[in-house]
Amino acid sequence: MEDNTSRIRLKKYLWPDEIKARRAKRAKSVLVITAIVMSFVFGFVLSSAFAPKPVVLDNKMERLQQIMDVLETNWYFGNEHNDLENDMINDAIKGMLNELGDKYTTYFTKEELEEFSNSINLGYEGIGVSFFENNGSYIVDRVFVNSPAFKADVQSGDIIYKVNGVIVTGKTSEELVTLVKGEAGSKVTIVFLRDNQEVSKEITRGKISNTAFGKIIDNRIGYIELSSFGDTSSAEFQVYLKDFKAKGIKNIIIDLRDNGGGSLSALVGIASYFLPANDIVLQQKDVDGNISIDKSRGTIIDTYDKIVILVNNNSASASEVLGAALQESAGAILIGKTTYGKGLVQTMAQFSDGSALKYTQAAWLSPSGKSIHGIGVVPDIDVSLHPVLTTSFYEFEGNETFALDTVSEATKDAQLCLDFIGYAVDRTDGYFSVATQTALNLYKTEMGFTADGILTKEVLASLQSTMIKTWHFNKDVKDLQMIKALEIMNE
């Protein structure tokens, strides 16, 4: 009798965590195999290339100098370097520091030091935006208040497409920064993609130096957002506090979310606006266990009925010090998520050539003596935001795409974006369901894409752009941490 039974091959789709595990296992296997092969291929070549007579070294540093001398004289690729000696010295220093196991101890060349200082002080000449890269596209994350970009109506979520006629998609972030920055007073024409439509802006560059932004909410609550603790932060903060006092504001919200820290002097200056003179701001414990104390200067501007501080997992270093100090000594209420947990203090040793060494000098403790390193400052009220706001988005490989009945991190990211924006999805675990396809097609139609049910890197970048725009223009309903802070103020 003929067998007419249909045989259907079952295919197991991997979930995102399984994909990561398999890739890691595959990578490990490849490395092991490569190591074995390389040992056979190169073992003989290296063994027969050793000099018969070793170089005699008088001291340990001479070993490094001898190696540099050999490379400068005989290295085949030496001519590819404009300044081989300087490159080797810089790389040797950085390699040495990388092996110490302290990620906060870093060497800066003159140019790198300038860039680092600008990142803290926001001191540069440009248009006044921050951005991030996703699959070759550069998306505006923040537009600084009163900056040239702000005055030109550049918006969060805009995708930077062209700068002075040059398409920047796929360029490195360094190349993009070079194109956008320029002397104050000079002009730059930037074409943005907004809702998948080109928007051209001619922007006059200016000096960017603001780290604080303040406003008054409902005529009775002062709000200050601090992006970093830079050289001008204390003075900027003071301007807002004086304005609040003049207008009778007695409740204040300090937003330290995503603030990675900065200057100790700025930190103590800001803490001194809230703490009486000689109150402890922080304690520092050095390598020998000695304790030094940084105290408030007592430059109090006003007293407040309520102080709320917003923090998240990216609030680090000086942000954590300020949060802990005001929590312990000023009755401040912390709302959000446990902070990063960087309880170390760095100092800078600068050299005559303009380079510098930033190294860990001490551990810091809260006024009561608590260490938060590796632990973080725990908020009084734990409030989470939508998970899409803390997602590291998938990076596509080549021209890969995803469609119905597949599982991927890219699909998970798209589902989170669609859900946040307001499209109906039945799941956010990375499985490309029918409901996901329907929601994606609705979005693609609205944005001018072909509604073919396919997720590409361009579509995911568009989704991410729309998500950021939704966040920045709908914080009154999306920012659950801020909503909770306002609830506390209204109690």
The phi and psi torsions of 121 (rounded to 5 degrees) equal -90, -10
Q: Which two tokens stand for residue 167?
A: 């398409």
Structure letter (DSSP) for residue 455 = B
CATH superfamily of 388-476: PGBD-like superfamily/PGBD (1.10.101.10)
Q: How far apart are CA 327 and CA 305, in angstroms?
A: 14
The CATH code that applies to domain 212-346+359-382 is 3.90.226.10
Place of tokens 């994909």: 19
* Residue 8: predicted pLDDT: 35
Q: Say what the alpha-carbon torsion angle 149, 123, 341, 95 is, to the nearest 10 degrees.
A: 120
* Residue 20: predicted pLDDT: 52
The closest alpha carbon to 315, from 279, 285, 343, 354, belongs to 343
- Give the three-class secondary structure for 18: helix
pTM, 2 dp: 0.76
* Cβ-Cβ contacts under 8 Å for 108 (sequence gap 6 or more): 116, 355, 356, 357, 358
pLDDT (mean) for 161-178:
93
Residue pair 412/430 in contact by the 8 Å Cβ criterion: yes
Place of tokens 């800078």: 348
| CATH class for the domain made up of 125-208 | mainly beta
Residue pLDDT, tens place only, 402-439: 999 999 999 999 999 999 999 999 999 999 999 999 99
* Cβ-Cβ contacts under 8 Å for 14 (sequence gap 6 or more): 22, 407
**What does the mean pLDDT of the chain come to?**
88
Place of tokens 């009798």: 1
Q: Which two tokens stand for residue 128?
A: 């006044």
DSSP 326-362: HHHHS-PEEEES------EEEEEEE-TTS-EEEEEEE
Q: How far apart are CA 486 and CA 218, in angstroms?
A: 10
Structure letter (DSSP) for residue 264 = H
pLDDT (mean) for 222-227:
95
Beta strands 280-285; 251-255: pairing state:
unpaired
pLDDT bracket for residue 56 (50, 70, 90): low
The phi and psi torsions of 380 (rounded to 5 degrees) equal -70, -35
**For residue 123, is pLDDT > 90?**
no
Q: How far apart are CA 311 and CA 254, in angstroms?
A: 9
* Residue 44: predicted pLDDT: 35
The closest alpha carbon to 127, from 146, 104, 101, 99, belongs to 146
Domain ranges for the chain, please list them: 61-73+81-99, 125-208, 212-346+359-382, 388-476
pLDDT (mean) for 346-369:
94
The phi and psi torsions of 465 (rounded to 5 degrees) equal -60, -45
- Give the three-class secondary structure for 360: strand
pLDDT bracket for residue 332 (50, 70, 90): very high
pLDDT (mean) for 189-218:
92
Please report the sign of the dihedral spanned by the C-alpha atoms of residue 171, residue 172, residue 177, residue 179.
negative
The phi and psi torsions of 442 (rounded to 5 degrees) equal -60, -45
* Residue 174: predicted pLDDT: 86
Q: Which two tokens stand for residue 318?
A: 């000086």
pLDDT (mean) for 451-476:
94
Please report the sign of the dihedral spanned by the C-alpha atoms of residue 33, residue 35, residue 40, residue 45.
positive
* E-state strands within 205-250: 206-208, 212-217, 221-226
